[in-house]
Structure 1
């Protein structure tokens, strides 16, 4: 009697991609009253700000972002306005990331960590995730949350939860997900568990004193929160969402920070990684074929967040003092470029299936049915005995009896395998097995194959008949020289309407008439017949005024005015509402022009008319006219 063991087979399925843009928020640090330094930045409204033009102090430059938080904004306002909306994506298996960017001393660490009285983004996000998983009431689903905490110090990935783990690698799996092999993961069931692991790990982060900051971060810190949603009944699906909370080290001017020795080396590594980050953003905006993610450990870890598969939020921290002017200007320019980056998040789903394999050969093999010479009565007895030996009850009893074969596995895995085996056994009792033998399966497949072959032959005959009718209709059109063709006669077959437009135009070119064709819907109800005039290509000859000689034949396109207007409306709707992929489907619009159109309408509002394209850089009135003709003809042809 065969002994069977349950084996979990997992395969990953990625859901349909969605398109989203990197959301950029700017936070202005309160003014530090040191001396009489002037203020160079001020906010205009909840989305825009202005900064003094360094070339002319009498002028200002304006920037607009997804959100702007002034010096009086609280930690709660920043979190609820920019971070909280993306947390719900984690529960459906999608990734998200939040990172703070800006010059040193602008308040990035305060924004991400805060203090006991004013907690920052990290503690608030972890608390709300725990509440979301507890409030979820989906039946047969359980949630688990784990955390990892690392820092990138001088291009080395350090594990802050286990400081002995130094210089960890960064890898990419077969599904293009970024991961850190060997990193420590801690399970958190409540906020006390998070505090227990996070506070000691934060003290392991590398900080130092500079002239601009008493506790300046000398590394980039990355907190990874992984949310797993697991189904407890077949098909045992598992959704995995990752949240990256990143506190970047600030760019530094060594002349102002007074860095020397090891501090100077740290500053060089920080500025180099931030420069690579700027190159990645430029390459994404320009649509270059190679994005330099691998040039730095920071950009490699942010590959999912910039141009990847995560919902990303960048909080740019700036300082109002004139002394920080050029650092603030650089940060604002970087933020303006980053908000044009497009990400494509998707749900990461893994499905586990259960297979049964025989660990021991059975004592009696079932005889081959295609070459069997045994008497029918003996064959029936053997079949019954085999079915009894391999019944679900005996299989389940065998698994319980030989549990020692699974001793090499983890006890929790063994317990889950036995639970799955019990579920499948109970399910097998309730269902009737329709195809119990391989012979019956073969017979059923052969029957289906024969039916499909007969269907193919029938479709071929029907196609041949329709082609003959189409040829007859085409010959009839070629012989007809009348001004209008009446298709209301019931003797005309439906296949006539499948004649290509080129054949119709050729047959009516001499008569110089407009071909009138009834829509197919009119065939079923003669009382509601309406004629529709379609555009026809006409051949014309133009004579020279001087010599009277004829030019080469020229071709003109005559279209109804309502057809042209309808085409213009469709093109305008696509320009105002279409995504980059949909815009690229238009004639004469490539990837670069599609991105320019999206950026222009986000900054200036929707297009009022198609001719407004001529205002954009790289477009002219002649190019817009050619674009209109090509796309209207394409719409009419389709």
Structure 2
């Protein structure tokens, strides 16, 4: 079981659950646009900065944080000043988190990842953690302790948790265990012992992350990336204690103004999901600062994962990235206001320790105690009987009889029922008991509903089979009666010739033959007239299938080909407004075509529209006919 501990460790860090405020560092990205444009923000010292007041250009607003890094600060300055001090807490079973926040194009991914020449927070932190665990294992005070590091890497893309280490694991759930720890069941975990092991897993996984180009950034992150490093400290001697610290390294996607990024189609949908999750993050911060009874962690997958980092049990550091250009003014102001609210959040970190000490016996009712003792005696007698030699089989049998005879009949009956239940439903009960009560009830309800649905489908299938058999019988009966009619006047081959086309034609033939007048004419003449009517109806019914599409057959080949080429060129190069000029294409379908074209490239044929969501073959055929006829008419 997990418990809180309050002793001092070898690193001098207290393990007691004491309040810890979220530390906020602000990093100002270097100037990237025109030299003649004025900057909207500037630093005052190592902890404060000022920004122009948008209501009055002659005034400025000042902010103070735990650290401020100007344009001259490098990656090492940010890491040593704000991130490195929280690493020792991981070695004593406490949680920590670092997340980069800011608008798109402000340098969040560069701060967290960096490049080979300027490594970011993530590679530096992993390298130092490996070195710290090796150094701690070599000391005499911890010679009976071992350290294990594992890593998991996921992204939150459009409110779905994707496993970057194993891309086939999509839309993973987020759960909370009995100790209120956040976990992701089914996520891939890789053990790392050296920095080379980390590089081997992390670099390919980073390439699986969703990125795209916008007007503000060539490689804009379209998802929130979360790297989890788990540090386990295990004691090799009794009482076999275990301390587990989790380190969350989070690269948030930037908030986006779609008017400036020019997002359309799928980019617009991604931007909406990003902004929605960041808005929920802001609501969580406001609720924590106001002391509200309900914190909306569950309103977003991002805030669900950040539950330990904001108002939870982690030492948290937020790096707010901002841009100096005037065009980023309102994005920078929003980021600074969010950072100012975040630094007021109080977390309560503590070390979570697991031991394998024997559990304390619980109080039992006298009757339960007696029954337990009797069941133990019964088990002991059975085990003793199996260990005895063949010579003492008679004695053991008599002892078992005496033991069973000494038990009450009601107790023996209950033991037999219990044994039957455990043997027949043991596996199912074990799986159900391993899940929380709510999930267990929901699973049972879903299973019952599925069984009822299966029964309904079986009854429906039986009814349909009976109706089909009855219809077949009626059809055979009517066919036999018509055959009798034709034998008396017309040859069999002549009467059945038009009935070989389709079943619908047969039905029409029956109807026509039944209403033909037979009075005043001879039987043979009426039958021949019926055959002629059947053939006429059959030709009309099959004309659409044999000669379709008739409008293409009556059109010259060169006009048809040029019309298709004009439509295909417009589909591949036209804007949303130009696509809306086509027949049967509205605003929604025009945006869908532009988004599909960005992801999959140009269309090879007009019929490729079928692969898009919401476009059926019938709609594509109607679209093609309407537009070609319009082009020819013009």
Query: Is contact 2:113–2:120 with CA below 8 Å preserved after alignment?
Result: yes
Deviations 1:185-217 (Å, cap 9, x if unpaired)? 000000000000000000000000000000000
How many corresponding residue pairs?
354
CA RMSD of aligned residues (A): 1.6
| Structure 2 length-normalised TM | 0.55
Q: 2:384 is matched with which residue?
A: 363
CA contact (8 A) 1:154 1:270 kept: yes
**Take 1:153 and 1:34, find their aligned partners in 2: how far apart are those partners?**
34
Structure showing the higher helix proportion among its residues: 2
Distance, in Å, in 2 between the alignment partners of 1:30 and 1:244 is: 27
Return the structure number with greater strand share: 1
- 1:180 equivalent in alignment to 2:184: yes
Residues 1:322 and 2:343 are matched in the alignment? no
For 1:585-624, what aligned pairs fall within 5 Å after superposition? Answer: none
The residue number in structure 2 matching 1:278 is 282
2:95/2:315 contact within 8 Å kept: yes
Q: How does 1:83-482 map to 2 (within 5 A)?
A: 83-136=83-136, 137=139, 138-353=142-357, 361-363=382-384
Establish whether residue 40 from structure 1 lines up as the match of residue 30 from structure 2: no
| 1:500-536 residue CA offsets vs partner (Å, 9 max, x unmatched) | xxxxxxxxxxxxxxxxxxxxxxxxxxxxxxxxxxxxx
Which residue of structure 2 lines up, in the alignment, with residue 60 of structure 1? 60
Write the distance in 2 (CA, Å) between the matches of 1:314 and 1:165: 29
Partner secondary structure for residue 57 of structure 1:
coil
Q: Tell me whether 1:12 sits opposite 2:2 in the alignment.
A: yes
Following superposition, the deviation at residue 354 of structure 1 comes to 6.4
Distance 1:281 1:89 in 2: 24
> 2 CA distance for matches of 1:147 and 1:14?
24
Give the aligned partner of residue 24 of structure 1: 24
Structure 1 position 72, deviation (Å): 0.5
CA deviation map 1:344-393 (0-9, x unaligned): 001011001369x999754289xxxxxxxxxxxxxxxxxxxxxxxxxxxx
Task: State the 1:36 CA deviation.
Answer: 3.2
Deviation at 1:37, TM superposition (A): 2.4
- Bigger radius of gyration, 1 or 2? 2
* Aligned partner of residue 384 in structure 2, secondary structure: coil
Unaligned regions of 5+ residues in structure 1, if any? 1-10, 366-638
- Three-state SS of the structure 1 residue aligned to 2:243 is strand
Q: Distance in 1 between matches of 2:94 and 2:316?
A: 11
SS in 2 for 1:183: coil
Secondary structure, aligned partner of 2:357:
strand
* Consecutive unaligned residues in structure 2, runs of 5 or more: 6-15, 360-375, 387-634
SS of structure 2 residue aligned to 1:320? coil
Verify the 8 A CA contact 2:18 2:348 in the aligned structure 1: yes
SS in 1 for 2:149: strand
Secondary structure of the 1:212 match is coil
Kept in 1: contact 2:167–2:208 (CA 8 A):
yes
1:307-345 per-position Cα deviation (integer Å, ceiling 9, x unaligned): 000000000000000000000000000000000000000
Residue in 1 that maps onto 2:426: none
Q: Does the residue aligned with 2:125 lie in a helix, a strand or coil?
A: helix
- Report if aligned partners of 2:49, 2:62 keep a CA contact under 8 Å in 1: yes
Q: CA deviation at 1:13?
A: 1.5
Following the alignment from structure 2 to structure 1, what is the Cα–Cα distance between the partners of residues 34 and 115? 23
SS in 1 for 2:310: coil
For the structure 1 residues 210 and 35, does the alpha-carbon distance in structure 2 shift closer, same or farther, using more than 3 Å as the test? farther
Retained in 2: the 8 A contact 1:145–1:187?
A: yes
Checking the alignment, whether the CA contact within 8 Å between 1:37 and 1:323 is kept in structure 2 is no
